[in-house]
Amino acid sequence: MSLQRSALVASGKVYRTHGISKRVSQINISAIKEMPLLASKVEGCVSLGQGIPSFPTPPHILDAVCEKMKNRQDSGKYTLGPGMPELREAIARYLNGKFSIGADPDREICVTVGAMEALSAAVLTLVDRGDEVILPSPNYASHIEQVLLAEGVPVFVPLSEDGWQLDVEGIRRAITPRTKAIIICSPHNPTGALFSEADLRAVADLAIQHDLVVISDETYDFLVYDGLKHFSFMSLPELKDRLVATFSFSKKYAMTGWRVGYVYASEGILDHLMKIHDAMAICAPTVSQYAALAALEGPQDCVAEIRTALSRRCDLICERLRGMAEHFEFVKPRGAYYLMARYRKEGVDSMSFALRLLYEARVITVPGSAFGPTGEGHVRMSFGGADAAIEEACDRIEKWLAGARF
Ligand SMILES: Cc1ncc(COP(=O)(O)O)c(C=O)c1O
């Protein structure tokens, strides 16, 4: 049974499909969001589910927003469609400082309602009915729905399971005359992998050879552990006209609820993407744009503090899972704050495993099948929650596994 279906059964709700477009009937709310909905009906759950970091938005961002709300009449009004000019300029300064790409704040940057809107708009801008989009898999669940919403065809290319790395040869073999784009996310949700510079350069070469667009989901660009370095497609000038890079303030500045991110693309693509942004959102929320400006212009110690805390939580959850080695195997994350745990239970699908964890152990995880076919046999665990929540969740899982019958 799909999670959607399980959720419907659990809530007693039945979908009416008559009169609903085929485009929408064929997509699902991602299991990442469905699991907390199911869990809201289960008393006392602890979450390793949705990727919400435990940190509050830093006080200097809140102060700056309060000041603007009190003193600026425009804080309750729409901004220009692509976003406040001073925010776009700050974003361009940040990108140019990091990548020396000469990003133009007027022509190449649009502030969006989170990276999510940027990704949806990018896919809708580029993908026609029947176009194929390559997704190294397992992959972020919403990338699949975004491709389906555009009536495109997701083409899954498995990551190597020993280290969750890109299979560049597999990607080359998956390219057909209908291939339009490839979506890459590094550091990676759901595996915590960090893709190597050599593989990312090879993917860029393939995109150039085969006239594809690279959609680079940079949501976790700041979050790499153990002194490793993140390589971004933004560093490749040869890719400029075929790159759409999406960024988020959600995780970097503990701003998931503010719903603000941005997209960088060449003018030729952004001009068209802006039409979708206008139809969907008009502009990103003005107060959130002020928050994003304060985040970019303020002290950056908060980012380092988040990284340090998450690195410690990564070690903590890995240590706890190593203590359950007869039940789970996993690859230690190099970035982001997720890991895919393969459970050693033959013949149990990940949906059943995750639902039993929810209802019997009262621990929220996300079934691996939500992340494409290669996710089956796993559950995704987020270690964005507080240390005590991770410890409690692991205690419950350990106790449950000791008694559960399969
Ligand atoms: C890989 C990935 N892309 C995009 C998003 C959406 O980010 P935002 O909150 O900026 O919309 C998320 C959120 O969890 C994510 O994990």
With cut-offs at 50, 70 and 90, classify the pLDDT of residue 14: low
The tens digit of pLDDT for each residue in 181-191 reads: 999 999 999 99
Do 293 and 381 belong to one domain?
A: no
Instruction: Choose the final residue of a domain: 278, 297, 316.
Output: 297
**DSSP for 198-249?**
HHHHHHHHHHHHTT-EEEEE-TTTT-B-TT-----GGG-GGGGGGEEEEEES
The tens digit of pLDDT for each residue in 274-286 reads: 999 999 999 999 9
Give the domain CATH number at 173. 3.40.640.10
Is pLDDT at 349 greater than 90 in this prediction? yes
| Residues of the domain holding 109 | 77-297
Instruction: Choose the final residue of a domain: 269, 297, 325.
Output: 297
Residues 6+ apart with CB under 8 A from 64: 290, 291, 293, 294, 298
* Structural domains counted in the chain: 2
The tens digit of pLDDT for each residue in 32-52 reads: 878 888 998 999 999 998 878
Instruction: Choose the final residue of a domain: 247, 280, 297.
Output: 297
Do 291 and 307 belong to one domain?
A: no
- Which of 57, 135, 215, 250 has most ligand 1 atoms within 8 Å of CB, for mutation? 250
The tens digit of pLDDT for each residue in 79-100 reads: 999 999 999 999 999 999 999 8
Do 387 and 280 belong to one domain?
A: no
136 touches ligand 1 (CB under 6 Å): no
Do 209 and 334 belong to one domain?
A: no
Q: End-to-end distance of the chain based on CA atoms, in angstroms?
A: 17
The residue assigned the tokens 């639902």 is: 355
Do 114 and 230 belong to one domain?
A: yes
Is pLDDT at 8 greater than 90 in this prediction? no
**DSSP for 77-142?**
S---TT--HHHHHHHHHHHHHHH-----TTTSEEEESHHHHHHHHHHHHH--TT-EEEEEES--HH
The tens digit of pLDDT for each residue in 111-122 reads: 999 999 999 999
337 touches ligand 1 (CB under 6 Å): no
pLDDT of 51 reads 76
* Ligand 1 atom nearest to CA at 247: 10
Do 203 and 347 belong to one domain?
A: no
With cut-offs at 50, 70 and 90, classify the pLDDT of residue 3: low
Do 337 and 275 belong to one domain?
A: no
Asked if residue 105 belongs to a domain, the reply is yes
In terms of Cβ atoms closer than 10 Å to its own Cβ (0-12, 13-18, 19+), residue 298 is middle
Residue whose C-alpha is closest to residue 371's, from 347, 340, 346, 327: 340
Q: What is the mean pLDDT of residues 259-282?
A: 98
Do 123 and 235 belong to one domain?
A: yes
Give the domain CATH number at 308. 3.90.1150.10
Q: Tell me the pLDDT of the chain averaged across its residues.
A: 94
pLDDT of 15 reads 61
Residues 246 and 9: their CA atoms lie apart, in Å, by 36
pLDDT of 396 reads 97
* Ligand 1 atom nearest to CA at 51: 14
pLDDT of 12 reads 45
pLDDT of 5 reads 52
140 touches ligand 1 (CB under 6 Å): yes
Of all protein residues, whose CA lies closest to atom 14 belonging to ligand 1? 51
pTM for this prediction:
0.94
Do 237 and 121 belong to one domain?
A: yes
